[in-house]
Chain A
């Protein structure tokens, strides 16, 4: 109604406008820092990807619960349209009667939350020649004030007016010609929009940026590889780490460690947590040392962009594990005490629990059945004990010695976020059971020149399943229950006070499980693979659940036996919204 009034221009004068703003739309003031801090508790909106800055993906709503979930039915759907039906890894945001949802190819829509009717659409104009490594996905937007902010495949950060979809500001995160891109959802902390960068294997250095969310102006930037200078308000702000402490020669200059999955925030300790990717080049034998801060979680202070602590999950990463996975703050009850902890399910197959204030190691427990690369984590040092299976020895280049390694480079868990339930005290981890053969590939070329690449074949570890949704007890490191899925899991997880866990499958089902037992209670076929991130909210006294459907992401790109399990999945691009069935009035 408001937008129509604006469009028709019927009002006259400021007094009238003020009256209308005050009386009709109190929420028009826009999304505030307080609303963002309070996102987990406020049930009538979802203003943050992760459903809170910490990314627990937990809702206190319980009208949809283990007893009622069988009555969950679709309310409306929205098709993302045209031919651009690729992986839909987004999470919708809900605010002020609108649903904001991003889609493949750097698109975003605002929809009427009641009807699903499209209010506006924005399609970012992408230049020719972008080479996204894996798929043309987007993982969601951020809301601040009257803006909706999202990142694009050509490494821009774009802020749109929530009501009109018009561009308010547009900032460059990196040069797409040099391989930079971005697909992660931005995070808002104290009026700043926090982003990472993604990009190719070489020439890229990971970075975390903080910009003024209202203007896009850069406040600070923090590179993730030692030796690179950070900046605060345009002034030098100290290099990251210590030059040549863990990198030989000038290899740090192109060290990788991309922050391609973005960040989470621990408000009580005022730290931003960002995961970093693998070091470059891929062949670890060429870069002896820990290669800090690749494959790590970094805790960064929001005001200054300084690194408060770091924890490296895979020192001297030689398996392309990355360490980008989300670090989720939670309060752990153990031995009658409450520990201010954080948890991360890493690509390398360990579920880590750390002290979220100082990064001190608490525990690491496998959440997959096989880890060939390690014999466990030394509890004293927090470092993995490496098994003797490191691939890529250059001395073996011609002979092509093959190493089998599990998990595969796609990880025990990839990008798809886990969830933490404050009632059950359990984390719900979307895991995959696969390994890889990896060998030096001397018959490779790059820009017309000979090149030593790596050959890979991914193998499922079991005949009957790859995906496994696992409930982990962070206090004991034990798996409480698991659900096995034939195809690899690639979608986000959400959990609620209704004792439910929601996630989707490549086979097209959106499913609900009993959070305590893992019993499958409900499923709905969405018509394409589900790799999106579910949300829930309350509207007009009813609880809603939404998820995007649309198969894609990195899985279909890799061949071998995995491809067979997913080759018949239809492409798609659809937002599905559900609520409990209500019988017609008699």
Chain B
């Protein structure tokens, strides 16, 4: 930190109050007007984040969130300006960089960002971005070799196995911290869920722990069956399920209403479920209202 730069680095910090000048209060014009004027909706999605948003073999961005972004732009009758972005250390960073302040280097804030984790408390805490439009529920899951591990009725059965996790994810946290660290040395930390699933399919790992959508998507793309999947309440994990939704800059009620209407239509028409199915992922309905 450089952090301090903290380099680099620094801990994840709640930016409770930024010293940067906030946009003027008198936001007379709703962002929806400028989107319509421009004829374009800019949507930030995470880079390298299969099956939601990732580059295919030809370098084109594809995935569930990409399809959803296209459908939302279509519903607003504008073109899509898709912006794959590098994930920050947590979604507070992502909202600052992509929604309400903009990047420090080049570029401008996007109209919309997809795949933001939601719960009532987080929505309340986040005041510079409006979080809404829950479209999916996500659950921490494990794929594993049943013949080797047996039925995974307790996570302690993972002790002594090679369990792939994405480094610095909730699964990594669980393997490192639960049961006073008894699973700590069973974790094989990798840069992505995709890498973990690929190594699992090659027989190098005994299990992979990750959000279910990512596991299902990775297996689908590899044309592989799930062996055994368990979804679950992992003892000692502070949260195993959460909703996923979207974010826009606070203070744009018309844009919010238009996106909510578009999302409802996509859900009711079955289009949303089709999108998920086309990427091999079961759509689990969110608990929060859109």
A binds B: yes
Q: Report which A residues bind B (CB closer than 8 A).
A: 86, 105, 126-137, 153, 177-178, 181, 183, 198-204, 248-251, 253-254, 256, 258, 260-261, 277-278, 280-283, 285-288, 320, 322, 324, 394, 397-398, 409-411, 414-415, 441-457, 553-554, 556-560, 563, 566-567
List, in ascending order, chain A residues with CB within 8 A of B14's CB: 441, 453, 455-457, 559
Does A457 lie within 8 Å of B16, measured CB to CB?
yes
List, in ascending order, chain A residues with CB within 8 A of B121's CB: 443
- Among B16, B140, B187, which residue has the most Cβ atoms of chain A within 10 A? B16
The 3 A-B pairs of least Cβ separation, nearest first, read: A445-B117, A559-B17, A260-B7
Does B2 lie within 8 Å of A261, measured CB to CB?
yes
Does A126 lie within 8 Å of B89, measured CB to CB?
no
List, in ascending order, chain B residues with CB within 8 A of A137's CB: 5
- B101-124 CB contact bits vs A (8 Å, 1 = yes)? 001111100000001110101100
Given A442-B239, A559-B18: A453 touches B12 (CB 8 Å cut-off): yes
* B181 contacts chain A at the CB level, 8 A cutoff: yes
Given A126-B106, A249-B185: A177 touches B86 (CB 8 Å cut-off): yes
Nearest chain-B residue to A456 (Cβ)? B13
List, in ascending order, chain B residues with CB within 8 A of A324's CB: 1-2, 7
List, in ascending order, chain A residues with CB within 8 A of B18's CB: 556-557, 559, 563
User: CA separation between A453 and B169, bound complex, in Å?
Assistant: 10
List, in ascending order, chain B residues with CB within 8 A of A126's CB: 105-106
User: CA separation between A398 and B236, bound complex, in Å?
Assistant: 10
User: CA separation between A131 and B106, bound complex, in Å?
Assistant: 11
- Known contacts A130-B86, A181-B8; can you find 9 more A-B pairs with CB under 8 A? A131-B88, A178-B191, A198-B9, A415-B4, A448-B115, A450-B238, A452-B173, A452-B238, A556-B19
- The secondary structure that dominates the A interface is loop
Given A282-B11, A442-B239, A560-B16: A132 touches B89 (CB 8 Å cut-off): no
Nearest chain-A residue to B180 (Cβ)? A395
List, in ascending order, chain A residues with CB within 8 A of B189's CB: 249-251, 253-254
CB distance from A556 to the nearest CB of B (A): 4
User: CA separation between A411 and B3, bound complex, in Å?
Assistant: 11
List, in ascending order, chain A residues with CB within 8 A of B12's CB: 201, 282, 441, 444, 453-454
* B184 contacts chain A at the CB level, 8 A cutoff: yes
Given A455-B14, A563-B17: A130 touches B242 (CB 8 Å cut-off): no
- Among A250, A444, A453, A563, which residue has the most Cβ atoms of chain B within 10 A? A444
List, in ascending order, chain A residues with CB within 8 A of B10's CB: 133-134, 201, 320, 409, 554
User: CA separation between A447 and B138, bound complex, in Å?
Assistant: 12
User: CA separation between A128 and B102, bound complex, in Å?
Assistant: 11
User: CA separation between A281 and B178, bound complex, in Å?
Assistant: 15
Does B106 lie within 8 Å of A447, measured CB to CB?
no
Does B168 lie within 8 Å of A281, measured CB to CB?
yes
Does A554 lie within 8 Å of B3, measured CB to CB?
yes
Q: Select A133's contact among B7, B105, B187, beta carbons within 8 Å.
A: B7
Does A153 lie within 8 Å of B105, measured CB to CB?
yes
User: CA separation between A452 and B2, bound complex, in Å?
Assistant: 22
Nearest chain-B residue to A251 (Cβ)? B189
User: CA separation between A554 and B13, bound complex, in Å?
Assistant: 12
Does A553 lie within 8 Å of B238, measured CB to CB?
no
* B85 contacts chain A at the CB level, 8 A cutoff: yes
User: CA separation between A203 and B9, bound complex, in Å?
Assistant: 11
Q: List 28 A-B contacts (CB under 8 A).
A: A131-B86, A135-B104, A198-B1, A198-B7, A199-B8, A199-B9, A201-B9, A202-B168, A254-B189, A260-B7, A261-B5, A277-B7, A286-B184, A288-B181, A409-B10, A415-B4, A443-B119, A443-B122, A444-B92, A445-B90, A446-B87, A446-B91, A447-B115, A449-B170, A451-B170, A453-B90, A456-B14, A559-B17
Given A134-B3, A248-B185, A452-B238: A409 touches B11 (CB 8 Å cut-off): yes
List, in ascending order, chain A residues with CB within 8 A of B161's CB: none
- B227-269 CB contact bits vs A (8 Å, 1 = yes)? 0000000000011101010000000000000000000000000
Does B11 lie within 8 Å of A410, measured CB to CB?
no
User: CA separation between A283 and B174, bound complex, in Å?
Assistant: 12
* B93 contacts chain A at the CB level, 8 A cutoff: yes
Does B90 lie within 8 Å of A557, measured CB to CB?
no
Does A128 lie within 8 Å of B115, measured CB to CB?
no
Q: Select B188's contact among A201, A250, A557, beta carbons within 8 Å.
A: A250
* B46 contacts chain A at the CB level, 8 A cutoff: yes
List, in ascending order, chain B residues with CB within 8 A of A177's CB: 47, 86
List, in ascending order, chain B residues with CB within 8 A of A556's CB: 18-20
List, in ascending order, chain B residues with CB within 8 A of A200's CB: 8-9, 89
* B49 contacts chain A at the CB level, 8 A cutoff: yes
List, in ascending order, chain B residues with CB within 8 A of A442's CB: 238-239
Does A183 lie within 8 Å of B2, measured CB to CB?
yes
User: CA separation between A280 and B9, bound complex, in Å?
Assistant: 10
User: CA separation between A447 and B4, bound complex, in Å?
Assistant: 24
Q: Select B105's contact among A128, A398, A457, beta carbons within 8 Å.
A: A128
CB distance from B220 to the nearest CB of A (A): 18
List, in ascending order, chain B residues with CB within 8 A of A455's CB: 14
Nearest chain-A residue to B46 (Cβ)? A447
* B28 contacts chain A at the CB level, 8 A cutoff: no
- Among B12, B103, B106, B122, which residue has the most Cβ atoms of chain A within 10 A? B12
CB distance from B95 to the nearest CB of A (A): 10
* B176 contacts chain A at the CB level, 8 A cutoff: yes
CB distance from A146 to the nearest CB of B (A): 30
CB distance from B98 to the nearest CB of A (A): 10
Given A441-B14, A448-B91, A448-B115: A250 touches B3 (CB 8 Å cut-off): no
User: CA separation between A566 and B20, bound complex, in Å?
Assistant: 10
Given A201-B10, A287-B176, A320-B10: A443 touches B125 (CB 8 Å cut-off): yes
List, in ascending order, chain B residues with CB within 8 A of A253's CB: 167, 189
Does A448 lie within 8 Å of B116, measured CB to CB?
yes
CB distance from A205 to the nearest CB of B (A): 11
User: CA separation between A105 and B117, bound complex, in Å?
Assistant: 32
User: CA separation between A324 and B169, bound complex, in Å?
Assistant: 26
CB distance from B144 to the nearest CB of A (A): 18
List, in ascending order, chain B residues with CB within 8 A of A559's CB: 14-19
Tell me the B1-55 residues at the A interface (CB within 8 Å). 1-20, 46-47, 49, 52
Q: Select B117's contact among A409, A414, A448, beta carbons within 8 Å.
A: A448
Does B97 lie within 8 Å of A131, measured CB to CB?
yes
Nearest chain-A residue to B187 (Cβ)? A249
Does A258 lie within 8 Å of B2, measured CB to CB?
yes
List, in ascending order, chain A residues with CB within 8 A of B138's CB: 448-449
Nearest chain-B residue to A411 (Cβ)? B4
* B133 contacts chain A at the CB level, 8 A cutoff: no
Does A129 lie within 8 Å of B85, measured CB to CB?
yes
Nearest chain-A residue to B185 (Cβ)? A249
User: CA separation between A116 and B178, bound complex, in Å?
Assistant: 61
Does A560 lie within 8 Å of B17, measured CB to CB?
yes
Does A105 lie within 8 Å of B90, measured CB to CB?
no
Does B7 lie within 8 Å of A322, measured CB to CB?
yes
Nearest chain-B residue to A154 (Cβ)? B105
- Among B8, B16, B122, B242, which residue has the most Cβ atoms of chain A within 10 A? B8
Given A134-B5, A444-B90, A446-B169: A567 touches B19 (CB 8 Å cut-off): yes
